[in-house]
Amino acid sequence: MITVSTDGSCLRNPGGAIGWAWVNHDGTSASGGARSGTNQVAELTAVLEAVLAHPGDEPLRVVADSQYAIKCASEWLPGWRRKGWRTASGGPVQNLGLVQAIDRAIADRTGPVTFGWVRGHTGDRFNERADELAGAAARAARDGTLPAGTMRETPVLEAVGAAPVRRTRTATSTTARTSTTARTASRRTGTAPATRRDLPEPDALF
C-alpha cells in the first residue's frame, strides 16, 4: 500500500496566499501554492494532488489532519453526487470544482483509495513535513517566488443540479490507524474516522 500524508496552509483565511503539500512515506514529496485562497481550498488541493500523483493498481491511503478534506473526499461526496452536487439542505456544495476533481481522480485510479485522519502537530513526522512544505509554498506564493507549474488551474465545475456522473469507484474514509475497503457492486464506500465526533455537513464553508 502507498501511504501519503497531505496538508494545506493559508496565511490569512480567507484570501491569503495558500500552499499545499503531499509527502509519500517512501520519502518523496511535492508542494505548490497560489496567491489567494482559503484553508479549505489548500487542504482539498493537497488531497487532489496526492491522488493524481499516485496512479496505478496499488492501494493508496491518504492521511490528513483535516477532517473537512477527508469527509469531502469520501463520506459526503457520494451523497452530493446523487443530489446533483447539492447539500442535504439543497444548497450548492462549496469548493465544488475541487470536490468534483477529487471524485474524478479517485474514479479514474485503477487501485482503491482510502483515507485516514491524524491529529496535527503531535509529532507525526510525515504530517509535520507536509505542514512545513505547505507553509513554505504559501510564503513563496505570497512573495512571488513560487516555481512555475506548482499550482493547477481551478478545476472545471459541472453544473449544479445536473444529472450525476456515473462512477465506478469512490473513496473509503478511515481512522488514522485503520483502513477498511468494501465493495458494494462496483462502488467503494466507507465510514468516517471513529475517533472524532461527526462533523455537520457544510453548507457555507469557504
Q: Does 146 reside within a domain? A: yes
Which whole number is the average pLDDT over 85-96?
Answer: 93
Could you tell me the pLDDT band of residue 148, with boundaries at 50, 70 and 90? confident
- Cα 88–92–97 angle (5° rounding)? 120
Scored b (16 or more CB within 10 A) or e, 6-40 reads: bbbbbbeeeebbbbbbbbbeeeebbbbbbeebbbb
Does the pLDDT value for residue 160 go beyond 90? Answer: no
Question: Bigger pLDDT: 28 or 121?
Answer: 28
Does residue 204 sit within a domain?
A: no
Give residue 149's pLDDT.
64
Whether 102 maps to a domain, the answer reads yes
Q: Look up residue 151 and give its DSSP letter.
A: S
What is the domain count for the chain?
Answer: 1
Please indicate, yes or no, if residue 196 is contained in any of the structural domains: no
| Active site residue ranges | 7-8, 43, 65, 121, 131
Q: What is the CATH number of the domain that holds 10?
A: 3.30.420.10
pLDDT at 36 over 50: yes
Determine, yes or no, domain membership for 40: yes
The domain of 42 spans 2-189
Does any domain span residue 198?
Answer: no
Answer yes or no: is 49 within a domain: yes
Q: How far apart are CA 164 and CA 171, in angstroms?
A: 17
Record the pTM.
0.75
pLDDT over 60 at 125, yes or no: yes
Distance CA 124, CA 5 (A): 10
More confident residue, 56 or 176: 56
- H/E element, 107: helix 96-108
Whether 171 is covered by a domain: the verdict is yes
